[in-house]
Amino acid sequence: MSIPNPSLYQIFSYERGPDKQPEIHGRTGSWKVASDTAADLAKAGIHAAVKNTETGNVVPFRPAETET
């Protein structure tokens, strides 16, 4: 699945989900964070990222099942 321009995703929250995996929650849904390192990001072929509004860190992510 290709990712639209990451700048379109306004991050409303960045938090640990019930399974302790980080999640991002934005205007178009929620995604589990696939990786927090550029190396893992590249290995997975992921080329999108979002900015964590709490820390300012840019966090790579892979859209998974959209949660509502």
Residue bearing tokens 């820390």: 55
pTM above 0.85, yes or no: no
pLDDT tens-digit readout, 3-33: 445 444 444 444 555 666 656 555 555 656 5
pLDDT tens-digit readout, 28-60: 556 565 444 545 545 554 445 566 656 666 665
Across the beta sheet with 29-32, the strand order is 11-16, 22-26, 29-32
